[in-house]
Amino acid sequence: MSAELDRFFASLPEVARGRLPTTPAGLIAFRFVSEDGPSTWFVTLDGGRVRVDRHGHDPDCVVETRPDTFERLVAGADHTLAMLFRGVVSVEGDLPLFLVFRRLLPIRADSAGSVAAEPTAEILPGGGHDGIGLHDTTGIFYGNMFMISNRNGDVETEPVTPLGLFFLDTRFLSTWRLSLDGEKLTELSIEDVCSFESRFALVPGQPTYYVQATTSILRHRSVGETFEEAVTLINYAAEPVRYAVRLDVGADFAEVQEIRDGLRRAREVSTTIDDSSLRLHYRRRTLHRETVVSASEPARVDERGFTFTVSVDSHSTWTVRLRVLTLVRDLSRRDLRERLRSSTHRSRAEAGREIDQIAAAVPELRAEHGPLSEAYRRSVLDLAALYHQGLNYRDRLPATGLPWSMTLLGRESLVSSLQVLPFLPHRAVSTLRILALSQGARIDPFRGEQPGRIVQESRYGESAAFADTPDAADYSAADTTPLFVILLDEYERWTGDAELVRRYEFEARAAIAWLDEYADPVGDGYVWSTRRQRPGGLVNESWRNSVESICFRDGRLATFPQAICELQGYAYDARLRAARMARLFWNDPAYADRLERAAAALRDRFNRDFWLPERGYYALALQSDGQRVDALASNVGHLLWSGIVEPEHAERLAGHLLGPALFSGWGVRTLASTEGQYNPLGHHTGAIWPADNSLIVWGLRRYGFRQEAARIARALLEAGQHFQGALPAYFAGYDRATTRVPVPHHATDSPYAPSAGAPLLLLRALLGLEPREDHLVIDAGVPEDMGHIELLDIRGRWGYIDALGRGRPFRDQPRA
């Protein structure tokens, strides 16, 4: 044991003062293994205090590693999650205790290239996606595992094609191709049984052969802890038939981010055949990924798959059951999931029942408007399924979307939790818990981590493990931190759960401190977005994070840093909400007064510096030289939601949001069609994001614009009909009069939690639902052609209540 580590542990009781929340609490055993023998330190976390001992028993969490590895962590050269994913540290038991322990590490860190001595694979241009859009595919998902295939169930992919079996952000199957006597199969039908199960009815050959086909093939697949598929042949011929059934199998172990960004990493994959199973391996030093494929029937197994030679009697069947294991091993060959005693496993039947129970517990909707009813049903089911176990923090974690975002994304989890509070309040609890646990504690430029900052992204892939990218814990978002405070307050306003607000007082105060101390590098009182370099290119730190999205009307790009307008609105709202919580629950009226003064000063300053009187809207951003970035974008709608807009400016903003430059007829574009960077296919420069639109609708209702809010809500619900009620992350911003139908984007997440949450927030806005102390205000604004809307058994601090909205012609209403 090194003297450096002895000093570190001995200093912890003093270091801990003011740096720890009161929960969680428990005993951590740190076991260090070296050539000199084992050594153990016991650290007790209890109510924000620390006790250190050399002896203990029954620890809640056991951390095992080498002394030199832990010294790197203490020195700031590595990150806890990257070490765990890389297999150089083992954590058994209650992982959240180890995450809280991070707050005791020295504040200065730089984990860039934390394993620089490791060999890195060459990143090559992948040439972009090969033309297969996700709307041409079919997929199932369960937690962090998902399978996306062509419509006949096959996976035939190049490295940048978004098809395959994925787990923990890694593609474990890149080839899964079934053929019969050398012929490809053609689908007759696809049945989506539920989010994690589907069935295919197929015939061999081309569609023109249907009438002659005497053989049918059924594929019944599901994902859970494993991927399983049953393939059944049915012979309708008058005589027995001999078949050669071939299953081609391959794995490239590509990361989902590489595929999304059109990149390609050269990997050496080895194959072994073991007891009639096919094993595909990828290793990088301590990291070992393995795909194991087995079959229930005898087969000839080669390095590229399985061949089954079978005879099927007339009007008889033959079935083979295929099973795929996805293993993430460390040097001891233990699977990552085996090292976490807190991990809980659910069978697919249990998961199905859980989804059904969640869906049954939401308020009952009775609506004459078909698109609303369809969107409500689909959204609830998708949101009930969009969770993942991750490394298990006892509760399941919110997942964001299929296929690019089946992991924790801070902004998207916060927004979707806000959208669905009246319907699925537990999503907010899960979101707040994991974001509180992973809140920034160090100053690490590589990850954008700063004390109090809320994480944006946490992934499990190879790049995260070896710090090729900061994805194990990436804090490069300027909006997640104020949104955390906003969600905590809004949750209490709906539920009356004061205990949760008290539990996260430490984290909420730290978030406000981040706004005060770190968010303003320019020193003028605004929240600034800096430039971040990612493998896919430069990004900013707002929800519209592509670098071209923050632009001038003439198409010029803004320079960095950027004070993006909605960030200021979020900061204003967060301070007011924190003031409310401080006064009502934290017994700190002086702190509340200070926050309210800061919010008022920000609002005055913002309306002075950002308002463009000659244009009638707020600047999209400020540059550090004070120049106003004057493009017209949907961001101004978020300002209405935050309440930072002066009432005399609101009507002009509403006019722009519903004007032809921003409103396409299907929704509000991210960038107006009059701007130099506008492109209806640009995902941040003209596309329509349902989540963005739902916040705009909420903001319009806040300022009294019922008719305008209803017009956007109706358009978006009508667009959803063309996506079977499941709005994608975004779709193209073409004029409705031009395309007649909403144009899907090439490859975007669907389901996507903030888009699934959008119809629920639209419903809240249409009914005018707003919690006021122990009452629910209902102030419906339903357009006449949407008919009656009833929402029954709305849960909240008031118990249960029903809401009714009758479709009526709009009349002029007083504005807020």
DSSP result, 616-669: TEE-SEEETTS-EE---BTHHHHHHHHT-S-HHHHHHHHHHHTSTTTB-SSSBB
- Asked if residues 112 and 258 have their Cβ atoms less than 8 Å apart, the reply is no
pLDDT at 433: 95
Average pLDDT over residues 302-312: 97
pLDDT given for residue 69 in this prediction: 95
Where is average pLDDT lowest: 395-409, 470-484, 544-558? 395-409
Give 353's contacts (C-beta < 8 A, 6+ positions apart): none
Residue 526 has pLDDT above 50, yes or no: yes
Q: Give the closest residue to 308 by CA, choosing from 152, 156, 181.
A: 181
Please tell me what DSSP assigns to residue 337. Answer: G
Cα(805)–Cα(498) distance, integer angstroms: 31
Q: Quick one: how far is CA 77 from the chain centroid?
A: 27
The string of pLDDT tens digits covering residues 656-673 is: 999 999 999 999 999 999
The identity of residue 398, as a single letter, is P
- Under the banding of pLDDT at 50, 70 and 90, the label for residue 18 is very high
Instruction: Identify the pLDDT of residue 392.
Output: 53
pLDDT > 90? residue 806: yes
What is d(CA 227, CA 144) in angstroms, rounded to the nearest whole number? 12
> How many CA atoms are closer than 13 Å to the CA of 197, on its beta-carbon side?
9
CB-CB contact of 313 with 227 (8 Å) = no
Its sign, for the CA torsion 673, 552, 640, 378, is: positive
Mean pLDDT computed over 88-93: 89
Q: How confident is the model at residue 132 (pLDDT cuts 50, 70, 90)?
A: very low
- Cβ atoms within 10 Å, residue 816: 12
Confidence grade of residue 131 (pLDDT, cut at 50, 70, 90): very low
With the C-alpha atoms ordered 808, 809, 813, 815, is the resulting torsion angle positive or negative?
A: positive
To 10 degrees, what angle do helices 690-702 and 706-721 make?
Answer: 160
For residue range 623-636, what is the model confidence (pLDDT) as tens digits? Answer: 999 999 999 999 99
Residue 304: pLDDT band (50, 70, 90) is: very high
Mean pLDDT of 209-236: 90
- Does residue 513 contact residue 452 with C-beta atoms inside 8 Å? yes
- For 559, the 3-state DSSP assignment is coil
Beta bridge partners of 26: 45
pLDDT of residue 119: 44
Once rounded to an integer, what is the mean pLDDT over residues 250-256?
95
Please return the burial class of 799, using the count of CB atoms within 10 Å of its CB with bins 0-12, 13-18 and 19+: exposed
d(CA 736, CA 671): 16
At 465, the amino acid letter reads A
Residue 123: pLDDT band by 50, 70, 90 thresholds? low
Q: What are the backbone dihedrals phi and psi of residue 765, each rounded to the nearest 5 degrees, phi first? A: -70, -40
Give me the chain's average pLDDT, please: 92
Residues 484 and 508: beta-carbon distance below 8 Å: yes
Mean pLDDT across the stretch 210-219? 84
pLDDT the model gives residue 539:
83
Amino acid at 275: D
pLDDT value of residue 323? 98
pLDDT at residue 537 is higher than 90: no
Pairing of strands 215-223, 305-312: unpaired
CB 443 within 8 A of CB 452: no
- Tens of pLDDT along 566-616? 999 999 999 999 999 999 999 999 999 999 999 999 999 999 999 999 999
Residue 480, token pair as written in the block: 């997640």
Higher pLDDT, 661 or 37: 661
Strands of 512-600, DSSP E: 532-534, 537-539, 562-564
**Chain segment 785-798, per-residue pLDDT in tens:** 999 999 999 999 99
Q: Per residue, what are the HEC states of 455-522?
A: CCEECCCHHHHCCCCCCCCECCCCCHHHHHHHHHHHHHHHHCCHHHHHHCHHHHHHHHHHHHHCCCCC
In angstroms, the CA 277 to CA 292 distance is 7
Tens digits of residue pLDDT in 677-710: 999 999 999 999 999 999 999 999 999 999 999 9
pLDDT band at 618 (very low <50, low <70, confident <90, very high): very high
Would the pLDDT of 439 be above 50? Answer: yes
Higher pLDDT, 112 or 509: 509
Burial of 266 (0-12, 13-18, 19+ CB in 10 A): exposed
**525: closest CA among 448, 459, 602, 457?**
602
User: Rg (Cα) of the chain, in Å, rounded?
Assistant: 27
* CA-closest candidate to residue 694, choices 771, 770, 765: 765
Residue 502 CA to residue 321 CA, distance in Å, equals: 51
Match 């009758």 to its residue by tokens: 806
**DSSP letters for 162-181:** S-EEEETTEEEESEEEEEET
pLDDT band at 266 (very low <50, low <70, confident <90, very high): confident
Q: Is the pLDDT of residue 328 over 80?
A: yes
**How would you list the strands of the sheet with 39-46, edge to edge?**
49-53, 39-46, 26-32, 61-65, 89-93
The per-residue pLDDT for 461 is 93
Alpha-carbon distance of 446 to 116, in angstroms, equals 14
Q: Which residues, in sequence order, are CB contacts of 148 under 8 Å at separation 6+?
A: 134, 137, 138, 139, 155, 162, 163, 164, 166, 402, 403
Q: Can you tell me the mean pLDDT for 471-493?
A: 97
- Residue 725 to residue 718: CA distance in whole angstroms: 9
Give the pLDDT of residue 810.
81
By three-state DSSP, how is residue 87 classified? coil
* Percent of the chain residues past pLDDT 90, beyond the cut: 83
